[in-house]
Amino acid sequence: MRNKVYILSVSALLVLSGCKSLGKLTSKDRSSNNKVAGSRSSMSRGFLDNLAVLPGEVKLAGVKVTAPKVEPANTKKPTYDAALSLPNKYANLLGVAPTELTNMLLFSQLEKWYGTQYCFGGSTDSCIDCSSFTQVILRDVYNVKIPRNSQQQFDACTKIETKNLKEGDLVFFNTVSASMIITHVGVYVCNNKFAHASTSKGVTISDLSEKYYTKAFRGAGRFINP
């Protein structure tokens, strides 16, 4: 009987104490809770105030903790120096080391004309033929005047052997028949390569050892003093 009375008393106390948490808060309860909430809020602000993220480190409540650095994204496009890129471009086209290319005036002119469309009789920036191209290169790079068409250039130059070819010499071809009539001309650069205004590719660089040009080759000549 005593045990039953004891259990009923304890149950009553638990119910009464539990009801207070479900009822309205008294002013005292609010005050007390506000203090707790304020204390928590203060702690949160203090935590945030003491948290400073710096490059390479984190400061937390006066304690320095090393953090990994995050590199900024590189949004800048790479820039290139045209004077430096020309030797690399033409060294690749000519099959030589960039250090072997010393006449940058020649390569700047080749770059100006490279890819320009071919047209018979053309002599402009948008359309040029083979003999006009050689005429312009010798004039603007070597300050040498030569005749206008390829046959006249062949007739006026000093003939040389292919083994003696040097930069600025001219190479002559007949691309339409087996005769010695000259129908095409280019400027020798180096390493068996020459620049010319091709009917199919425009201004480009080709190799004298290519089957087409070996068959069409008719000789080499020089206007520039060695």
Catalytic residues, by residue number, are 130, 184, 196
- Residues with Cβ within 8 Å of residue 111, at least 6 apart in sequence: 86, 89
CB 195 within 8 A of CB 110: yes
Give me the residue label for tokens 């002599």: 123
For strands 193-198 and 57-60, give the pairing.
unpaired
**Tokens of residue 155, six digits:** 């007739």
User: Burial level of 147, CB count in 10 A (0-12/13-18/19+)?
Assistant: middle
Which helix (H) or strand (E) is 44 found in, with range?
helix 27-49
- For residue 78, CA distances in Å to 61, 73, 132, 212 come to 43, 13, 37, 40
Residues in the chain: 226
Residue 130: closest CA among 197, 211, 203? 197
